Amino acid sequence: MKICIIGAGYVGLVSGACFADLGNNVVCVDNNAEKINRLKAGAIPIYEPGLEELVKRNRKEGRLSFSTSVKEGVKTCEVIFIAVGTPSRDGGDADLTFVEHVSREIAQAMPSYRLIVEKSTVPVNTGEWVEHTIKVFNKRGIKFDVASNPEFLREGSAIKDFMNPDRIVIGVKSKKAKDILTELYKPLKAPIVVTDIKSAEIIKHASNSFLATKISFINAISDICDKVGADIVEVARGIGLDRRIGKEFLNAGIGFGGSCFPKDLSAFIRIADKIGYDFGMLKEVQKVNDYQKALLIKKIEALVWNLPKKTIGVLGLSFKPDTDDIRQSPALDIITMLQKEGAKIKVYDPQAMGRAKLELSKNTEFCKDAYAVAKNSDCLLLATEWNEFKELDFKKIKKIMRQPILIDGRNIYDPEEMKKLGFTYIGIGRK
């Protein structure tokens, strides 16, 4: 099939490269000319394992190309995916101006029937607005369909997730749209949930909200463990082996972040509010997540005494390992909170330093590796569980720190081992 993907970000670029790898002809369009120029020159603007090779291979085979022109993409492709950003507005609503803009551009460029697919995460009823906008701006009355096909890939394992999804959700109004999308996804051999557009939109928001709820739930339990001297890792194992609950997403930590959970939670709360449902449960999930970060500051303060002028070393900046994405990363929030209290911050991340330099205060010291971070620090905080942080030489780290205080924000170290090495070790809900 000939496919146009509008928005060549984490989702658009990965989806485009994967669709091309499945044998389709794909053009990825983005209005960021610099991004497109870099892609045309063979550079990948984001860090995502395996993406560079996938893009290279499919460009070489002539199945994947890049453009800044929506018009050009829409002219040649029958299936158009909208994969632009849907960030949070100030009050928490999803900002749908990019989706609206692109819908109008598609409408004006359509030469004949087109299937327009929402891939971006959008609140329920957005499909109706997209359809309405295309009807209004498609002056020649050309036939089209709108569909919803939310994406569930995770940054860091995006290609694997796209190629081996647990399920594919397709929200459609017509048989033609259903047939096109079912055919497109046939090679993936995953269960396809065909539904109406509104249900598909809700599936995405509900899935992310449920996952965020699971994280806040285990974080709340971890605080109870802290208070009574129980161990959250054992508690989580005991809970998670119940198949009705499942062990995924039961790792206590410094809170969730990233470009999806915080924004999708807010957007779901806001859309629920607008249609007359007060989603208090999800507001509590947000509250627990914020509290988790505030609690961490208190833990650090309790160990180093006064924060002003203390040096806190932070390992990891991205919101999760294997990505350079720092959007809503809890590490960055915690760093900013510590800096407000007067602490000096040293940081290192294997992939996210470039992006973080644009976001963090000028006073932040960016180091070449974890050991440079640890040197003369009063406290070391593991914020993102990159694999390389699991393999550190802690004997060496203990020697070069000013005070051997280790805060394990992701519970990746063995508390007993760290205590034996002479660290004051604090995990999240660990004995």
Annotated active-site positions, please? 260
86 binds ligand NAD per the rule CB under 6 A: yes
153 binds ligand NAD per the rule CB under 6 A: yes
Record the tokens describing residue 296, joined without a space.
Answer: 């961490």
The number of beta carbons lying within 10 Å of the beta carbon of residue 97 is 13
Sign of CA pseudo-dihedral 357, 359, 360, 361 = positive
> Closer CB to ligand NAD, residue 10 or residue 423?
10
> Closer CB to ligand NAD, residue 264 or residue 349?
264
84 binds ligand NAD per the rule CB under 6 A: yes
Number of residues that bind ligand NAD (CB under 6 A): 26
Give the three-class secondary structure for 344: strand
> Closer CB to ligand NAD, residue 311 or residue 318?
318
> Closer CB to ligand NAD, residue 159 or residue 232?
159
CB of 318 to ligand NAD, least distance (A): 12
> Closer CB to ligand NAD, residue 98 or residue 366?
98
CA distance 207 to 247: 16
151 binds ligand NAD per the rule CB under 6 A: yes
CA distance 228 to 225: 5
CB of 221 to ligand NAD, least distance (A): 26
CA distance 163 to 112: 30
Non-local (6+) Cβ contacts of 281 within 8 A are: 213
Near ligand NAD by CB under 6 A: residue from 4, 7, 19, 214: 7
CB of 323 to ligand NAD, least distance (A): 8
- Angle at CA of residue 329, ends 416 and 6, nearest 5°: 140
Region label for 94, one of left (φ > 0), alpha (ψ between -120 and 50) or beta (otherwise) = beta
**Of residues 323-362, those binding ligand NAD (CB under 6 A):** none
**Of residues 221-260, those binding ligand NAD (CB under 6 A):** 259-260
- Angle at CA of residue 19, ends 87 and 173, nearest 5°: 70
The number of beta carbons lying within 10 Å of the beta carbon of residue 184 is 20
48 binds ligand NAD per the rule CB under 6 A: no
101 binds ligand NAD per the rule CB under 6 A: yes
Record the tokens describing residue 97, joined without a space.
Answer: 């101006």
Name the residue among 206, 196, 195, 212 with its Cα closest to residue 268. Answer: 206
Near ligand NAD by CB under 6 A: residue from 39, 102, 271, 326: 102
Nearest position to ligand NAD, beta carbon:
9
> Closer CB to ligand NAD, residue 302 or residue 358?
358
98 binds ligand NAD per the rule CB under 6 A: yes
Of the candidate spans 97-105, 108-116, 234-242, 296-304, the one that interacts with ligand NAD by CB under 6 A turns out to be: 97-105
CA-based max dimension of the chain: 75
CB of 45 to ligand NAD, least distance (A): 8
CA distance 65 to 44: 13
- Residue ranges that bind ligand NAD, judged by CB under 6 A: 6-12, 29-32, 35, 83-86, 98, 101-102, 120-121, 151, 153, 155, 259-260
